[in-house]
Chain A
Amino acid sequence: MSAGLVIFLFTIIYSLLCLVLRHQRMASAFAAAIGAGSIAAFVLLVPFDEAFLFGEISIKFASEWIILGRMFSLSENVRPLIGFLYLSGAFLLPAAWLVNANRFFPSVALLILAIVAASLMVDPFVFAAVFIELAAMGAVFVLVTQQHPRSTGATRMLILYTIAMVSILFTGSLLEVAGITSATPVLAMRVTFMLGFGFAILMTIPPFHLWLPKSVEESDPYILVFILVILQSAGFFFLLRFLDSYVWLREQTLIYDGIRIAGIITTILAVLLSASQRDIKKLMAYALLVDLGVLLIALGSGTEDAFRLALSLSAVRVIALGVLALGLSYLCNSAWLVSQMRGVGYKMPFAAAAFLVGLLSVAGTPLTAGFPVRWSLLTVVLNADKLAAGTVLFSMVGLGMLVIRLAAILFGRRDDDDIIAVSKEPRIFLLGGILLLLLLGLFPQLVFPWVEDVASGLANLFL
């Protein structure tokens, strides 16, 4: 039996189970998380292409699966990436029942994970663009619901992802058919431009971020973070595989300069925009962009160490953004919040604390999960590009000051500071998230094994 088929079947089974359990939101969310976790374990731990004993039964999973003449391969270089996506799902999905999500969300979320996994498995890998487009379509079903009927942001996302799909498909074909090398500079420049355009959309780099602030206004922040983490990770891994596969692309300093400049612009713009926000939902959208900007700076530095840091950032951001969004989602469920933020920290202390600690981690404040990676990045880029190092520092200081200002507002005294009762389970989730962020701040090496797994798979990029 092929491993790809097993993933597909398990996704369908768990998705149907979530559908059956949709009226019991907690059971449905946990079923989805268990499903994602078990698939992640299968991808990361089970040996492929060799027989092994399960009890007394000998089993062999083939890493390749062929459909319509195209191969879906679970090769060593994509296994850690797919495992990461499913682990992200397993981490984010249990809390889905706590937020204002549609009851079909866990079911659709599993399907989105499977489609993104397919985008990593398909060969030739340029076809991944079509799968990411299909995943974006799935995202619309969870972003636009009866609870959140407005659809401007989701529609903008769909339009942009469709354009990105076409751009990347053409680029991939140009690369394969036209045989581009460093000896064909005009064609190489054209391809680089189209590729950059496509990836700028996939990774929500300004000005293609316009759907994000609109979506955060229109949807639940937690659901948006799930979608964004999965789609941006897919785009990021896709870019890594492009760089790993094409020598001329990897050897062009222009590419890395472009990525780094995009990162610098994204970070500065997002910090300034977040500082000018009065709406904390939009502030989260810009914090997401700050995080992305720092990730791009790491990637654009073009060294192995910086690539490792970019991978670490992509791992840590799942937790930081998840905790931030969960806290925010709770805060936003209080209708009066938008107009009266002052004192909310006393009314909902756990939610406010989760929001602030999540934001602190995105800012890269010491003792939080975001700090060790950002600090290492500073040391890596300081000698090579002072502007990039200054931008990382600016993001840390800028967002840090913003958190202080927000904390002063959220925990400012009001006359009616009665605590809004929050049941035990949400408190456990919020507190657990905060503790996890602090734990990763103290022991950042916990994400190292995964980073090394990815690095060993992308053998050309990590020599």
Chain B
Amino acid sequence: MTWLNNYLFLPVVILFITGSALALMRPQPRSMLILAAQYIAVSWLASTSLPAAGVAAKLVTGLLVCVIFYIGIRQIGDDPLRGDDQLLSANIPFSIIALLLVTVASVSVARSNLFAQFDIRIEASVGALFLIAASLLNLGLGTDQLRIGIGLLTFVSGAELIYGFIEPALALIALLTMVHLGIVLVISYIISIQIRYAISENRDP
């Protein structure tokens, strides 16, 4: 699998595309496909620091998270979520400018010697810092639970990518896997409670 390391620019490009799409699009069930692509790119980059078992665990968890999120949203009844037909977020010019700013900032920080003592590959640090910056933007741009869930998962993915170079321990991979699953369960739970409440009150959640 070492040939994958020759094309590490590809997952970085995928992360830029998926991160931007998740920040600019209105969160909806189909966002899970983009999130899945993001998890694949993260696992690809993580393969430079983690053992194969760790990468596999990360990839499987990521895809599982997307499936749980998707099924959760669909099974709850997607009517309240489907009522929102717009593809892009409101105030798109502001979102694009903010995204450009965080992209420039993350690339600049990655090129500095912030992580000099950890020997982190430049592709991984660019990708990770972009994910962290884009996730903070995502968390700041909206208050709906799906966006917050996606933002948190992206944030943890970005941090995990850097942390893999610092401490590639199996126990930590397992713990952070639990964090991913925990976030998706908590957010699905909150969405389910609010939709039940909205249905019982017969109003828009």
Q: B159 contacts the other chain (Cβ, under 8 Å)? A: yes
Count, chain A residues at interface, CB 8 A: 31
Contacts of A173 in B (CB 8 A): 163, 166-167
Q: Is B170 a contact of A68 with CB atoms below 8 Å?
A: yes
Q: How far is the CB of B177 from chain A (nearest CB, A)?
A: 10
Contact for B186 among A68, A149, A158, CB less than 8 A: A158
With most chain A CB atoms within 10 A of its CB, the pick from B167, B178, B196 is: B167
Contacts of A155 in B (CB 8 A): 143, 145, 148, 190
Q: Is A177 a contact of B178 with CB atoms below 8 Å?
A: no
Contacts of A166 in B (CB 8 A): 155-156, 159, 163
Q: Scoring B residues 139 to 164 as 1 if CB is less than 8 Å from chain A, else 0, what string do you get?
A: 10001010010011001100100110
Give the residues from 144 to 164 in chain A that come closer than 8 angstroms, CB to CB, to chain B.
Answer: 144-146, 149, 151-152, 154-155, 158-159, 162-163
Count, chain B residues at interface, CB 8 A: 34
Q: Is A151 a contact of B145 with CB atoms below 8 Å?
A: yes
A374 to B196, CA, bound (A): 47
With most chain B CB atoms within 10 A of its CB, the pick from A69, A133, A134, A178 is: A133
Give the residues from 119 to 155 in chain B that come closer than 8 angstroms, CB to CB, to chain A.
Answer: 139, 143, 145, 148, 151-152, 155
A166 to B182, CA, bound (A): 15
Contacts of B176 in A (CB 8 A): 130
Q: How far is the CB of A320 from chain B (nearest CB, A)?
A: 30
Contacts of A67 in B (CB 8 A): 171
- B interface secondary structure, majority: helix
A79 to B26, CA, bound (A): 48
A146 to B180, CA, bound (A): 24
Q: How far is the CB of A163 from chain B (nearest CB, A)?
A: 7
Contacts of B155 in A (CB 8 A): 162-163, 166
Name the residue of chain A whose CB is nearest to the CB of B174: A68
Q: B105 contacts the other chain (Cβ, under 8 Å)? A: no
Contacts of A145 in B (CB 8 A): 193
Q: A141 contacts the other chain (Cβ, under 8 Å)? A: yes
Q: Is A170 a contact of B163 with CB atoms below 8 Å?
A: yes
Q: Is A146 a contact of B163 with CB atoms below 8 Å?
A: no
Contact for A140 among B172, B174, B190, B197, CB less than 8 A: B190
A169 to B171, CA, bound (A): 13
Contacts of B167 in A (CB 8 A): 173, 177
Q: A363 contacts the other chain (Cβ, under 8 Å)? A: no
Q: Is A177 a contact of B189 with CB atoms below 8 Å?
A: no
Q: B117 contacts the other chain (Cβ, under 8 Å)? A: yes
Give the residues from 99 to 134 in chain A that come closer than 8 angstroms, CB to CB, to chain B.
Answer: 127, 130-131, 133-134
Q: Is B156 a contact of A162 with CB atoms below 8 Å?
A: yes
Q: B87 contacts the other chain (Cβ, under 8 Å)? A: no
Q: Is A127 a contact of B145 with CB atoms below 8 Å?
A: no
Q: Is B163 a contact of A134 with CB atoms below 8 Å?
A: no
Q: Is A130 a contact of B179 with CB atoms below 8 Å?
A: yes
Q: Is B179 a contact of A133 with CB atoms below 8 Å?
A: yes
A366 to B185, CA, bound (A): 47
A327 to B63, CA, bound (A): 47
Name the residue of chain B whose CB is nearest to the CB of A172: B167
A170 to B117, CA, bound (A): 13
A162 to B184, CA, bound (A): 13
Q: How far is the CB of B94 from chain A (nearest CB, A)?
A: 21
Q: B97 contacts the other chain (Cβ, under 8 Å)? A: no
A178 to B178, CA, bound (A): 27
Contact for A69 among B139, B162, B170, B186, CB less than 8 A: B170
Name the residue of chain B whose CB is nearest to the CB of A141: B189
Contacts of B1 in A (CB 8 A): none
Name the residue of chain B whose CB is nearest to the CB of A173: B166
Contacts of A170 in B (CB 8 A): 159, 162-163, 166
Q: A354 contacts the other chain (Cβ, under 8 Å)? A: no
Q: A298 contacts the other chain (Cβ, under 8 Å)? A: no
Contacts of B183 in A (CB 8 A): 137, 158, 162
Q: Is B169 a contact of A69 with CB atoms below 8 Å?
A: yes
Q: Is B163 a contact of A177 with CB atoms below 8 Å?
A: no
A149 to B200, CA, bound (A): 11
Q: Is A151 a contact of B190 with CB atoms below 8 Å?
A: yes
A158 to B148, CA, bound (A): 10
Q: B118 contacts the other chain (Cβ, under 8 Å)? A: yes
Q: Is B178 a contact of A134 with CB atoms below 8 Å?
A: yes
Q: B108 contacts the other chain (Cβ, under 8 Å)? A: no
The verdict on A177 contacting B118 (CB below 8 Å), with A144-B190, A151-B190 known, is: yes
Q: A146-B196, A158-B183 are in contact. List 7 more A-B contacts (CB 8 A).
A: A69-B171, A149-B197, A152-B143, A155-B148, A159-B139, A173-B163, A177-B118
Q: What would 25 A/B residue contacts be, using CB atoms closer than 8 Å?
A: A67-B171, A68-B170, A69-B171, A70-B169, A127-B175, A130-B176, A133-B179, A133-B182, A137-B182, A137-B185, A137-B186, A141-B189, A144-B189, A146-B196, A149-B194, A151-B194, A155-B145, A155-B148, A155-B190, A158-B148, A158-B152, A162-B156, A162-B179, A166-B156, A177-B118
